[in-house]
Amino acid sequence: MGSASASYSAPGGVFGLSPPESSRRDSRKRRKDRPSWVKHTFTPHFDGHLWRKYGQKNIKDSVFPRLYYRCSYREDKQCLASKLVQQENHEDPPLFKVTYTYEHTCNTAPVPTPDVVAELPAPATGDALFLRFDSTG
DNA sequence: TATATTTGACCACG
DNA sequence: CGTGGTCAAATATA
């Protein structure tokens, strides 16, 4: 074995199917009460926390896929905060609908000043596009 | 090498 | 039966 696992060719080999124990049976507990709120922004990232994408699925009746994000500290700080990002418009400045679930239990804020306005890609000139970032939700 | 990311498959509910 | 959601493994990159 010499060096690590780089010499592997095909997991399971040609000896028929050899899938790992698919014992994920009682996992996936459905939470009955899930506090969640929706917000719109051009920069679904940079909201004051770090996120890690864990899935992407296409929604029926939707040309845009839905991205699933979770707190990078989920295991470290037990931060149950999760976030769903779905593109709603195909305009030049694509608007993303972000659905937040649970609050961040990790007090660590890697982003000191989430200047969302500074990330705006400069909307069309003369466009009466007004964005309201009310935090009161 | 480690980390973050990607894709596929599986499960549960209406 | 279909949809929606999550996890696992494999891959790409720094």
Domain boundaries along the sequence of chain A: 36-111
Does A21 score more than 60 pLDDT?
no
Contact A48, A111 (CB under 8 A): yes
Per CATH, the architecture of A36-111 is what? Single Sheet (2.20)
C-alpha span between A19 and A7 (Å, rounded): 19
Average pLDDT, chain A: 67
User: Could you tell me which residue, A58 or A13, shows the higher pLDDT?
Assistant: A58
pLDDT tens for each residue of A41-89: 888 888 878 899 999 999 988 889 999 999 888 767 778 889 999 988 8
Does A137 score more than 90 pLDDT?
no
- How many CB atoms within 10 Å of residue A131? 13
Does A23 score more than 60 pLDDT?
no
Q: What is the pLDDT of residue A92?
A: 73
pLDDT tens for each residue of A92-102: 778 899 999 88
Q: What is the pLDDT of residue A57?
A: 93
The percentage of residues in chain A with a pLDDT greater than 70, rounded to a whole number, is: 53
Q: What is the pLDDT of residue A6?
A: 32
DSSP state letter for A4: T
The candidate with the shortest Cα–Cα distance to A116, out of A39, A50, A44, is A44
Nucleotide whose C1' lies closest to the alpha carbon of residue A84: C5
C-alpha span between A42 and A57 (Å, rounded): 20
User: Could you tell me which residue, A134 or A107, shows the higher pLDDT?
Assistant: A107
A59 touches strand B (CB under 7 A): no
C-alpha span between A79 and A132 (Å, rounded): 28
User: Could you tell me which residue, A1 or A81, shows the higher pLDDT?
Assistant: A81
Handedness of CA A24, A29, A35, A37 (dihedral sign): positive
Q: What is the pLDDT of residue A19?
A: 47
Strand C positions with any atom < 7 Å from protein CB? 2-10
Our measurement of CA A33 to C1' B8, in angstroms, reads 29
